[in-house]
A = this chain, B = another copy of it.
Amino acid sequence: MGYLENVSYEDITIGQTAAYSKTVTERDIQLFAIVSGDANPVHLDEAYASGTPFEGRIAHGMITGALVSAAIATTLPGPGSVYRSQSLRFRAPVRIGDTVTVRLEVSDKNDRSHLVTLDCKAYNQDDKLVASGSADVIAAPGRIRVEAPILPEVSLD
């Protein structure tokens, strides 16, 4: 990724948009199960999941939440912002291999508190809405450019 740059509070405009995409992999689901402690077989065991109403494995809903939070933290407002709140409605399942695109749109900003309200929508590769909600975040003043640390390589055994 290299560098992360913010959009400063002053430069944010109502109606401004940003997008962030990531493909959800088998490994992501396993890692999220480890981080959260949620090893529900509907996420991890195809034989079990195929017998549920989902008819196959689905990603943890909050993986989409993680992608929404990453969109905010890396694009709009980006680094230096402080996450205050998030609402999410889960509208359709995300499956292994789906590419989720989070679309953010600034719906409000408050010059006194520097609080920015973002409309958040997540779509899959077929443009189906998988989650929607709203976030409140305090945007940093001024320009911030930070080096994104290189993440370690993961192996699963």
- The chain A residues found within 8 Å of chain B, CB to CB, are 1, 4, 20, 22, 28, 30-42, 44-45, 48, 52-53, 60-63, 65-70, 73-74, 79-80, 82-90, 133, 146-157
| A83-B61 in contact (CB<8A) | yes
Q: Point out the residues of chain B lying under 8 angstroms from A90, CB to CB.
A: 83-86
| B151-A154 in contact (CB<8A) | no
> In the complex, what distance in Å separates the CA atom of A44 from the CA atom of B60?
24
* Cβ distance A31 to chain B, nearest Cβ, rounded Å: 5
* Cβ distance A42 to chain B, nearest Cβ, rounded Å: 7
> In the complex, what distance in Å separates the CA atom of A56 from the CA atom of B17?
30
| B152-A157 in contact (CB<8A) | yes
Q: Point out the residues of chain B lying under 8 angstroms from A41, CB to CB.
A: 79, 146-149
> In the complex, what distance in Å separates the CA atom of A44 from the CA atom of B52?
38
Q: Point out the residues of chain B lying under 8 angstroms from A39, CB to CB.
A: 1, 4, 74, 148-151
| B73-A69 in contact (CB<8A) | no
User: Which residue from chain B places its CB closest to the CB of A79 in the assembled complex?
Assistant: B40
User: Which residue from chain B places its CB closest to the CB of A74 in the assembled complex?
Assistant: B38
B37, B40, B66, B84: the one contacting A62 at CB < 8 Å is B66
